[in-house]
A and B are shown apart, each in its own frame.
Chain A
Amino acid sequence: MIDAIASLGRSSLNALVVFGRAFLFLLQVLASLDIVIRRFGLTVVQIYSVGVRSLLIIIVSGLFVGMVLGYQGYITLVNFGAAEALGGVVALSLVRELGPVVTALLFAGRAGSALTAELGLMKTTEQLSAMEMMAVNPYRRIFAPRFVAGFLSMPLLAAIFSAVGVMGGYIVGVGMLGVDSGAYFSQMQSVTDWNEDVLSGVIKSIVFGFVVTWIAVFQGFNAMPTSEGISRATTQTVVVSSLAILGLDFILTGLMFGAG
């Protein structure tokens, strides 16, 4: 009995320690952000591996999510004789919710796990210590460019996801189900507002990008230097960032749309 309580206490303390270390790590990365401006080339390479190489999965999933939205929206709306409202339904759900959230989930799976595995292996093979031996600061050389790359790529990926999704909805709604093309876009334009809907989606995706890259880079940094440790850290990245994304999305949606 007492053992059970003690182990509960131990695990909560451990969780707190990890959280504190993650925060200190973030501060240290933020303190070394000047490298991004001084040697932008490092960041460019990271944007390539984090952002450009996620493009394919983002575009394909965006297209299919949009097409499914087109189908489901049509099936529901046609009961009310309001199939013309399809464009608004597709655009609003993509721009406000699905764009940022699904992109962030895919991003965590595609780019976040890769970041963690790369950094974990660097730590395991003592590349990070070797850098420190050579007086190269790994925060500046390794962590900061990766962090900035993830943070910059997310909003772009989310915007691409939403735009492709709108086209996917168009393909199904207008091309296959026969919704009027003009009605599709005019409905969309009359319900979607730039400030309220599109920009709040962009803000969401920036927040998600920040959180996912933070978690991914920290998990790599914090991984146990064994092969099992790397695999556990990679899993942790995907699980923790997915939960963080969904929880944060609830809070952000409440803040953005709840009060009004």
Chain B
Amino acid sequence: MKVRFFELAVGVFVLLGVAALFYLAVQVSNVTDYHDRDTYTVTAYFDNIGGLKTRAPVTVSGVRIGRVSEIRYDPEQFRAEVKLAIRSEHDYLPMDTQAAIHTAGLLGEQYIALEPGGDYDTLQDGDEVMFTQSALVLENLIGRFLTNMGSD
């Protein structure tokens, strides 16, 4: 009886500890995001991706529908190739959807905002987003501002 009580209490303790670790894995760090089930992948080419990182959110009107799954440099096009993994229930995006890289908040991370177009055909797995808008790079902006100042 006594021994059984100890075993029970320790069992509960171990379960609690494992549950806490599980909580840290799922809720606090980002382990679960690795298996966003059922997604389709669209490719977008950007001239400049700024500080975009893999796993950054992909949003439509601010609603998160997927994430950036891969970023690499395409040596043929001389542009950055960004793969967007979009959850399959969001299969209504028109072919002429526009992708832009925005910044969330002042210190915030960069994310991809999609702007649906008016086409009847929708984006399928493996398709390419035709219209993209690069990230705002502060140095370029300042540079352009200075040149404009000079020409006046």
Interface residues in chain A, defined as those with a beta carbon under 8 Å from any beta carbon in chain B: 41, 44-45, 47-48, 51-52, 55, 80-82, 84-85, 91, 95, 153, 155-157, 159-160, 162-164, 166, 185-186, 188-190, 192-194, 197-198, 202
Contacts and interface: CB of A to CB of B under 8 A. Distances in A.
A95 B20 CA distance: 11
Interface stretch (B7-15, B38-46, B141-149): B7-15
Interface residues of B, number: 30
Nearest to A85: B107
B72 to A, nearest CB: 21
Nearest to A194: B29
B105 interface: yes
Contacts of A164: 20
A156 B16 contact: yes
Contacts of A41: 3, 7
A198 B24 contact: yes
Given A156-B14, A163-B24, A190-B109, 20 more contacts: A41-B3, A44-B3, A48-B9, A52-B9, A82-B106, A84-B105, A159-B24, A162-B20, A162-B28, A163-B23, A166-B24, A185-B27, A188-B27, A189-B29, A189-B30, A190-B30, A193-B29, A194-B30, A197-B29, A198-B28
14 contacts: A44-B3, A52-B12, A84-B105, A95-B29, A155-B17, A156-B16, A159-B17, A160-B16, A166-B24, A185-B27, A188-B28, A189-B29, A194-B25, A194-B29
Interface secondary structure of B, over-half rule:
helix
A51 B14 CA distance: 9
B112 to A, nearest CB: 14
B17 A160 contact: yes
Contact of B6 (A44, A156, A189, A190): A44
Contacts of A51: 10, 13
B122 to A, nearest CB: 27
